[in-house]
Structure 1
Amino acid sequence: MRLVRLVALFGSVVLLVTVSVSLFDLRSERRNQIDASVVVAAESTNQSVAAKIDRAIALIDAANMSTEPAAIAGSFDGSVSVCVVSATGRACTDRDVSAGPAFGEAAMQAGLAGGAVAAAQPDSQTVLLVGDTSDGATVVIELGASALSIGTAEPDVVVEVLIAEDQPVSADGPESMNGLRVMSTATGLAAGGAIVVTASADGDVGLVGDGLAMYGLLFALGTVLIALAGWTVLVDRRSLEHRASTDELTGLVNRREFEHRAEEELDLAGRVGAGVCVMLIDLNSFKQINDTLGHQFGDLVLTACAERLSAAVRDTDLVGRWGGDEFVILLPGLQDASAVRTSAERIAGRLSASPLVGDVTVTASIGAAMYPRHGATLDDLIRSADVAMYGAKSTGVVHRMADPINLDTMSPLDVVSRNYAGPERRRPAPSLDDPPVGDRDLSRG
């Protein structure tokens, strides 16, 4: 009996240590998630602010003395005032912003720079942009903080845009401040001052506090450690199962899980004689978004696309991330080509209906294949949908339906002539030793 108690005590101590480590790991993981959200929100907002300043400078460079101030102001949301000053007078949208405290210095800097410059006005929390036109007029644009701000796709993150007299040093990463995790970035202005973007989120990691309170709670849980250990194992197993089947970025099912569930659906359809549709969706010009706005902003776009795709389909449909900027949808029960086209148009329309993140919109190319017309297996359907999608992209249409396949007659040269590289999205020309992959005469969807 004593041996049993010693073993139980030893086991309890081991479990206690394990739980303590697990709790600390969970706190660290949660803190990292909060920090990542704050960093993404700050950097994406900072990029948007810089883009709006560049847009204002471009509008000044393109203006002349006959340009209507309202036309310039209409290019921005929020608080914007514009004046065009010439030898014959001045025209303003609402008030004379050339009388502001920063105008004189900004006008001088613009003359020295030979182009429009921006200056901070901290007292009014505005940015003043001044520049001369080719015909001798001076254009003055005043942007309020509300015109520079954008929303953030990060939940529970608050973003503020402040106009500062001096440029602070940008932080290397999030810092703790009054119970918040805070990230600040600053952009200096040519004529003085800076625009400071601050993103903050609640720093509470959702677990018990540090010190004696945590250890007291852990020791109080000693009487139920065996049950807790079993529960922990169960939770960890479910968590691993969830991670194994879910795309970490978008929350959609990943490729492996999609293939597993699609195979089950095709098996059921084969037994009952039902139809199934598979759609491959590729975002157009997504590489340009990554190259110009950064991969973190691209991740926000992918997440927003996943949300819209999920909202555009039926409850019985399955949306997954195939890889990169490609998504895949399984639509059970669709047997009619017109219904497939209607679904593809609805999905494409939902994606491009309005900006996804900030002012960024995307379009997509969609290829559709139907079981059993375009393939008897998931691999065949994916190949057919991939060919159709690539055909839609190369011809500039939104969606395209695959044509029936003929695996026995298509030669490797046919594959090359159709620019097809298979569902892995690689596109080098195959060699003549490659096996046949099917006959596709692509038709418009």
Structure 2
Amino acid sequence: MFKKILIANRGEIALRIIRTCKEMGIKTVAVYSTADAESLHVRFADEAVCIGPPPSNLSYLKMSNIIAAAEITNADAIHPGYGFLSENAKFSKICQEHGIKFIGASPEMIERMGDKASAKATMKAAGVPTVPGSDGIIESFEKCEKLAEEVGYPVMLKATAGGGGKGMRAVWKKEDLKKAWESARQEASAAFGNDGMYMEKLIEEPRHIEIQIVGDSTGRACHLSERDCSVQRRHQKLTEETPSPFMTKKLRTDMGNAAVKAAEYIKYEGAGTIEFLVDKHRNFYFMEMNTRIQVEHPITEQVIDYDLIREQILVAAGVPISGKNYTPQLHSIECRINAEDPYNDFRPSPGKITVLHAPGGHGVRLDTHVYAGYTIVPNYDSMIAKLITTAQTREEAINKMKRALDEFVIEGIKTTIPFHRQLMDEPDYVAGNYTTAFMNTFKMNEPEEE
């Protein structure tokens, strides 16, 4: 087992990893930018190393500084969390070269599954259902036009190096294809330095449902059931739940089997997520694989009583998995609390938190790194907390979430707490009747007078 793990991340996920390491008797090293000197992950780690100024490219993305921090503290492993360098093949390889265990996917696995076009080809070969579309990067607009006719409108153009909704365009008719092709390529080039595009059939009324998997060094994998992540804004998830209200026993079995087949086909080692689009007829199609821990992993932990970070560490240390597939016996919902103003188009709201009262009680979990007096800096992702409620039924989990949101007080900045509170009363959400287009018609009520 590892003696000391450096956490190459910040905020709530860094704190989350530190907690499990402490429970396992493993020493921890926090890294931080000068903007994060007062963050809780710095306070609760056994050691902390400053790795640069606030901009990510000069700190959390600066590989040489992170490796240097691992070497001077004698860390024998690095956990990258999510985001930043968690799916960076070069960083995974550098860790290998320095004799430091990267608690995540191998460089080869990240490269294979990180590029959407090659991931799709791999899944096709594994016998996992994929969305009809191009077999790889589309070489020219002429080929794009021809393929759109073959696949049939509507189609979706996607950047092969994409993420966060950048370089994506839905095209409903032939006349709009040229403009969408040009603007998507331009956006992809600016965001990723790569304007390669591929095309997929646009799935109508899709749900975004992912299957959590874990694989070990023997080539075995198991699944830990599904999470429904369909409530999104600009391709960014807002809330997640498990089990999905759209799921049937047969669909869970079929999707779970497909996810395990995918993981075992590529001999995946570690925790990962196979993401699917599911259409209104419950046909499911592979979308992408995340070769890291997910933001929304706590809801899976809550419904099957399983520490995913612990499992990641054990697998990285060579411990085989149990091989058991799981079905949730409880219901869990996560609300991502962001420092954003939901009454003002979710505009970021950095600043100092003057008052904070955290909700509590049975079945309430709060993962956060913030406290009263903490300053939210504008340099990083706006998520400041994850509020998770767990109960016997979905109705009870929603009612518990309403109560917890009512208790959750954050002053000094704007947050998405009012959005989530309204969502929990939205008839379509309460009925489980939502797709990835849900937020297109969602309107915030007028703010209450203070």
Q: TM-score range by the shorter chain?
A: under 0.3
Which has the bigger relative contact order, CA under 8 A and spacing at least 6? 2
Structure having the higher Rg: 1
Higher strand share: 2
For normalisation by structure 1, the TM-score amounts to 0.23
